[in-house]
Structure formats: C-alpha cells, structure tokens
C-alpha cells in the first residue's frame, strides 16, 4: 500500500530511483507492518505513474475494495436496522425516570464535552473510545484539511477542535438537519479490549503506567515492580474487581458505560452504529452526510483495528476464570449498554456457566 510522502520518504524514493538506474534493487520497508499507531494516508498515484516506476507494484499496490460504498439493498437494510435500534432505545428510555430541568441542563453541559460537531457535514458524534474512534478522527482530519495533524500523528486533537459549547450542542441536538450518532460495542468485548490495550500492553503503550496503579487496591499496597525490576501488571480479574468497586461515572472513558458516557436518553440520536457492523454503518453515515464524496476510504481501512488482535477470539479465554458473583456485578455495571443497544450475553453466559450460576436477566 502507498502513503503520502513526507520529506524523509521522498528522499528514500529518490535514492531508490538512483540505485535502480545502476541496476541495484532497493526495497523500502512496508510501514504498515510496524504495528504502530500512526495515521496512515494512501498516496494517490495514476496507474501510468505506478507502471512506469515499478511494473511489479501494480499487483502489490492494488487497493482493497471499498467496503463503505453501499448497494441500494444494503442501504435499505441499514435503514430497517436503524429503525429497530432507535425504537429499542426509545423503549428502554421510556422506562427511565424523567430528569428535572436542573439535572437536564447539567447533563447537557457535561455531554457537550463528549461530542464532536462537524458543521460542514451537519453531523455530530459521541466520542466512544474502543469503538472505531481513532479511524473516524483520522478521516475527519483528512476531509477537514488538517494535514498537519495527520503528519504529526495528532488526529486525536480533532476531539478538542470539534467540541462545541453547551448552547451549541443543545442547538445541534434539537436540529433535524444534523445527524447525531453513537457507536456502541458489545460491553464484554469492549471491556476486554480496554484491558488489553490500556493495562496489559505495558510494552506497547505508556498508558499502562497511568492505569495500572488505579486498578490495584488498596493503592497504598500497590507495588509497581518485583524486587528484580519486573513490572507487576494487574490481572484481568483484578481489573474487573476495580471496575465494580468504582462508580461508573468515575470510570475512564475507555471503559465507562456508553449509555452513561453518551447520554443515551438525553440525546436525540438519529443513528446508532455498532462496532460489529461498523463498515456498513459508517458507509451509510458517509453517504447520508456527504462525507463520502470527499473521503479517502483507505484512511478508515488503514487506521482501523490498531489494537492487539481480534478481541472476540479471546473472550472465552479471559472470562472463563471470572467467578459467578464478579460476572453478575460486571453485568450490572453495563446493564444499560446491553439493553439500550441491543446486546444479549445469554449464549455467552451459558457457555461460560453451563450450571446456570450466571443468567442474563435484563
């Protein structure tokens, strides 16, 4: 795959061309295999230019198919699914107590800090970490002309740039002209992904240095290293015990319940995406907002799934050692994420606890 050249890459390309003339083949490393978190953007080249530079690269540099272009049948399916998801959310929210005006206004002031507002495309989204947020911000940086953030690997700054005031957010929320969406993810998978990325991956991310002490209680007895200098990382069970010991409102955004984080019953959502159907849901968002005509879809492809492998394949392995009581407590913390966004853990629980010691009672 190709990328937009920076100065260093341009220099390497020039050296490569010189050696090619001399009959020496120079192979440039594929940056996509480095396992980093850089924002990657495809370099646009004409087929003639690619052929002239390296005939063999025509096959090697072939672009993957665009999964975000939807057929009419797919569009119809997304609309049907969205109608079902929105109806479910409305039904669940009708069971919640109605907040008074003071609570409502205070909640909106908090929610305003958690939403991005893109006036150019009349779209607003809740910032949900561990649910495709990095790729979305990379795309926004591209279509809004923030190449400086892409080059500096700082597309996370888009969250600050696109935040609006409480008054602005209230206006957007009440406007039928703005799409308001949230990306939900199966709670147990999101929780495991957060643990593996923020806690367990100490060798890959400095975030573990900040989060690990929080999850080992009591803090006064926390020892960050063994006597031989080896780091002590919290186990998954310790992480889960920490989750149930802290009020959900105080949780880090990486694992704070989405229904709470994004004001599921306060915001007039017009679309609920699922991480499990993200390509189709994003394709619909891009189509309906007009971002599709300005976007380079490879940005979404290259910046998706930057974590440590497929979390769903590891769910049973990690959760199999969780005691029934602890699992019941975890389900209670994330109950609204299950019920409001249409996730049912029943089959997974039957597999983990065949004796029926843990059952899903929404």
Q: Taking the model in full, what pTM does it have?
A: 0.76
Q: Which long-range contacts (CB under 8 A, 24 or more apart) does 225-233 make?
A: 231/202, 233/199, 233/200, 233/202, 233/208
Strands 179-184 and 271-274: parallel
Query: Any idea where the domains of the chain sit in the sequence?
Result: 7-60
Report CA-CA distances (Å) from 319 to 65, 263, 266, 307, 322: 35, 28, 32, 19, 5
**Angle in degrees, 0-180, between the axes of helices 278-289 and 72-93, rounded to the nearest 10:** 100
pLDDT (tens, 9 = 90+) of the chain, 362 residues, equals: 444 444 444 444 443 443 343 433 322 233 333 333 445 555 444 444 444 455 444 444 577 778 788 899 999 999 999 999 999 999 999 999 988 888 888 888 899 999 999 999 999 999 988 777 888 888 899 999 998 888 888 888 888 999 999 999 999 999 999 999 999 999 999 999 999 888 876 544 444 455 555 554 443 344 454 444 445 678 899 999 999 999 999 999 999 999 999 999 999 999 999 999 989 999 999 999 999 999 887 777 776 655 555 666 799 999 999 999 999 999 999 999 999 999 999 999 999 999 999 999 98
pLDDT of residue 8: 44
pLDDT of residue 201: 65
């Amino acid at each position: 795959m190709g990328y937009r050249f920076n100065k260093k890459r341009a220099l390497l390309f020039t050296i490569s061309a010189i050696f090619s003339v001399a009959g020496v083949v120079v192979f440039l490393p594929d940056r996509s295999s480095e396992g980093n978190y850089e924002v990657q953007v495809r370099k646009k080249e004409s087929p003639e230019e690619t052929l002239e530079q390296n005939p063999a690269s025509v096959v090697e540099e072939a672009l993957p198919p665009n999964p975000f272009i939807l057929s009419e049948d797919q569009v119809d399916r997304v609309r049907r699914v969205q109608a079902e998801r929105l109806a479910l959310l409305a039904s669940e929210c009708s069971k919640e107590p109605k907040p008074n005006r003071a609570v409502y206004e205070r909640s909106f002031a908090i929610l305003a800090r958690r939403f991005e507002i893109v006036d150019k495309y009349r779209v607003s989204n809740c910032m949900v970490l561990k649910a495709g947020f990095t790729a979305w911000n990379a795309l926004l940086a591209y279509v809004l002309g923030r190449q400086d953030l892409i080059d500096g690997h700082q597309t996370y700054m888009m969250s600050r740039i696109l935040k609006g005031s409480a008054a602005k957010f209230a206006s957007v929320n009440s406007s039928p002209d703005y799409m308001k969406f949230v990306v939900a993810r199966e709670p147990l998978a999101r929780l495991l992904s957060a643990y593996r990325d923020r806690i367990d991956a100490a060798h890959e991310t400095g975030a573990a240095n900040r989060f690990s002490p929080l999850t080992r209680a009591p803090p006064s007895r926390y020892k960050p290293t063994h006597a031989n200098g080896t780091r002590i990382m919290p186990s998954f069970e310790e992480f889960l015990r920490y989750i149930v010991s802290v009020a959900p409102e105080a949780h880090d955004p990486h694992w704070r319940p989405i229904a709470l984080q994004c004001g599921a019953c306060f915001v007039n959502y017009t679309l609920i995406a699922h991480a499990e159907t993200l390509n189709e849901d994003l394709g619909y968002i891009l189509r309906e907002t007009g971002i599709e005509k300005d976007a380079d879809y490879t940005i979404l492809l290259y910046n998706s799934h930057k974590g440590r492998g497929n979390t769903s394949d590891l769910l049973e392995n990690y959760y199999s050692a969780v005691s029934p009581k602890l699992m019941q407590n975890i389900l209670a913390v994330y109950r609204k994420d299950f019920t409001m966004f249409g996730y049912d853990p029943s089959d997974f629980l039957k597999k983990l606890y065949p004796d029926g010691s843990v059952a899903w009672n929404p």
